[in-house]
Amino acid sequence: MEHSATQPPLRIGTRRTNLTVVQAKGIGTVSRKLRPTGRSLLELFTPSATETNQRHR
């Protein structure tokens, strides 16, 4: 609790946004590198997106 009190909430927010951006970039590179077998990896990363796509089909 003391650590969180010392660090301002703004820093945590910025760190979270940076992490999300890095994750998004990483997923993009992985999908590009493994395009033939990228669907399985993408499903693991974003199961909701694949589920919605299947439902639409």
Q: Taking residues 5-32, report their average pLDDT.
A: 63
- Paired tokens of 8: 């301002």
Q: Is pLDDT of 29 > 60? A: yes
Asked whether the beta carbons of 29 and 40 are under 8 A apart, the reply is: no
Note whether residue 52 is domain-resident.
yes
Tell me the per-residue pLDDT of 36-53, one tens digit each, with 9 for 90 and over.
555 666 666 665 655 555
Give the domain range for residue 46. Answer: 9-56
Domain count, the chain: 1
Note whether residue 1 is domain-resident.
no
Q: Taking residues 2-23, report their average pLDDT.
A: 61
Number of Cβ within a 10 Å radius of residue 46: 13
